[in-house]
Chains A and B, each alone.
Chain A
Amino acid sequence: MKASVGGYARATDLRHALDLLAASDGMGRVLAGGQSLIAALNMRLSSGDLLIDINRIDSLKGVVLAGDRLRIGALTRHAEIATDPLVAQHAPLLQKATDLIAHAAIRNRGTIGGALAHADPAAEFPACVLALDATIQVEGPQGSREIPAAEFFVDVFETTIQEGEILTAISLPIQEANERQVIHELGRRSGDYALAGLCIVRREARHRIVCISVGPKPELAIAAMARLDEGDEDGAVAALRDGLDPPSDTQASATYRRHLVGVLLQRAIADLNGATA
C-alpha cells in the first residue's frame, strides 16, 4: 500500500529536530534510514504521523574512537558499519552482524540508531549492543542522558526513550586483547529475520550471551553465562534452553526455537574454543 503521512519536515540540526518533535504533539516520528518505519507506514500500521527526517544531521553520523570507548553515531548506516575499520578492530561483533541483516539495498539505508530505537526482538543490533555492554545516548528537551543497554529495551518495539527524545549515539567499550565476539543465527532464507540467533562476547574469561528472536526483548542469559564462566559447556546449553520462553508462530514453534538456540550456543562455543586453541 501507500504510506499515509500527516506531514514531513527536514531537520537541519539536532536542536531543530528536537524542536520539531516537541511541536508534533505526540504525532512525531523520527525518520532515520526508514527501512522499518516506511515499511510500517506503507502497511498502514500507523497513519497521520509527522515525520522528522534526521538524515541531514551530520553530528549524528560516523564512528570515532574516544579513549577506550567507541562512539557510533545513530545515523551510521549498516553498510558503513560493515566496512568501517574502527568497528572491525574494536567491535567486530557489529561488523559480523551486518552480514546477517536484511539485504544489500536495505543495509545501504538502514541505521544502527534506527534499529535500536525500533527495538525489534528479531533484529541483530539490539542483541549485539547488550552483549557488548554498550550505552545508548539520547538527547531531549532537558539535555542528554546515557542509558545502559541492559535498561534500554522494555518490550517488543518499546524502549526507555521518552517522548521528545532522540537517540543520538551508541558508546561501547572497545574489544580487549584476547576478547572474542561471535554471532550466529538461523533463518530459512538469507536476509530473513532469524528464527533464532545468538551473540556471545567473552572478555577476561567472562561471557555475555544474548539471544535473538526468542523473546520480547534482548536479555542477558544469566544462568547460561554463569555455567559457561565455570567451563560447563553442556550445562550452559541446558541452562540457556531452560531459561527461555520463546514464541510459537508460523515461522517456528517454541520447541524448535529452544532447540535452535542450544545448537547455536554449541556452535558459538566451538568458535570460541577454536580461536584460542
Chain B
Amino acid sequence: MTVTFSDRIDIALTVNGEAVEARVPAGRHLVDFLRLDLGLTGAHASCEHGVCGACTVRVDGQAIRGCLMLAAQADGTEVWTIEGLSDTGAVADLQAAFIARNALQCGFCTPGMLVAAQELLNAGGVPDRTTIREHLSGNYCRCTGYEAIVDAIETVAIARSGRGAA
C-alpha cells in the first residue's frame, strides 16, 4: 500500500451531469476548482471559513460548503452548481419566486440561498417559516433582511405541495 502524500491530486467526478477529470493542488477548495478551473462562477467564495454560505453547492445530494471541502475530496462525487440546477429547470420555480418577491438585490448570496432552499424543499412537505429561517441560518444576505427570501421559499413550498395549485 502506498504511503505517499501528493501536492497534486487526480480527481474524476461529475459536475452538472458532465464527467470531469482534473489534476488539482492539494489545498484547492472545491468552490475554487468550480470557479477558477471550470469557469462555473455561480457559487461565490466569500468568507472562506464556512460562515457566510455564499459558496454552498450540492455534493451527492447534500448542500455543503464549497470552501470547507477540498476538490481532492470531491473525487467520485456528483456535484451540482447553480448553473446546472438552472439549466435543468430544477430550481426554476424558486428563481421565479425570488424575482417575484424581490428576494434578492445584489444577488451575491442567491446561488447559495437557492441550493440551501432546494435541499430543504427536497425533504418534502411545507416547512413553516421558523424551519425555513433555521435552515437558511447559515446563508448570509446583506441586502434583503431575509423576509422576502422566506416569503419566496414558503410560496414555492406551498406550490410544490399542490396546495397552491388550485
Q: Which residues of A contact B26 (CB under 8 A)?
A: 5-8, 51
Say yes or no: B29 contacts A3, CB within 8 Å. yes
Does B151 lie at the interface of the complex (its beta carbon under 8 Å from any beta carbon of A)? no
CA distance A264 to B113 in the complex (A): 33
Q: Smallest Cβ distance from B50 to chain A, in angstroms? A: 5
CA distance A31 to B64 in the complex (A): 16
Q: Smallest Cβ distance from A49 to chain B, in angstroms? A: 9
Say yes or no: A9 contacts B135, CB within 8 Å. no
Q: Smallest Cβ distance from A236 to chain B, in angstroms? A: 31
Say yes or no: A2 contacts B5, CB within 8 Å. no
Mask for B27-49, Cβ within 8 A of A = 1, else 0?
A: 10100100000000000000011
Does B119 lie at the interface of the complex (its beta carbon under 8 Å from any beta carbon of A)? yes
Does A108 lie at the interface of the complex (its beta carbon under 8 Å from any beta carbon of B)? yes
Q: Which of B15-23, B65-73, B96-104, B152-160 contacts A (4 or more CB under 8 A)?
A: B65-73
Which A1-46 residues have a C-beta within 8 angstroms of B? 1-10, 12, 15-16, 19-20, 22-24, 31, 34-35, 38-39, 41-43
Q: Which residues of B contact A53 (CB under 8 A)?
A: 70, 72-73
Say yes or no: A6 contacts B116, CB within 8 Å. no
Say yes or no: A105 contacts B138, CB within 8 Å. yes
Say yes or no: A42 contacts B49, CB within 8 Å. yes
Does B9 lie at the interface of the complex (its beta carbon under 8 Å from any beta carbon of A)? yes
Does B14 lie at the interface of the complex (its beta carbon under 8 Å from any beta carbon of A)? no
Which B127-150 residues have a C-beta within 8 angstroms of A? 133-135, 137-139
CA distance A24 to B73 in the complex (A): 19
Given A8-B70, A9-B6, does the pair A104, B65 have CB atoms closer than 8 Å?
Answer: no
Say yes or no: A189 contacts B137, CB within 8 Å. yes
Does B56 lie at the interface of the complex (its beta carbon under 8 Å from any beta carbon of A)? yes
Given A12-B1, A19-B3, A109-B65, does the pair A39, B50 have CB atoms closer than 8 Å?
Answer: yes
Q: What are 27 pairs between A and B in contact, CB < 8 Å?
A: A2-B32, A2-B48, A3-B27, A3-B29, A7-B6, A7-B7, A8-B6, A16-B1, A22-B3, A34-B68, A38-B50, A41-B27, A42-B48, A43-B49, A51-B5, A51-B26, A53-B70, A55-B73, A79-B62, A102-B138, A103-B137, A105-B53, A105-B56, A105-B65, A106-B138, A108-B62, A190-B134
| Interface positions of B (Cβ within 8 A of A) | 1, 3-7, 9, 25-27, 29, 32, 48-50, 53, 56, 62-65, 67-70, 72-73, 75, 116, 119-120, 133-135, 137-139
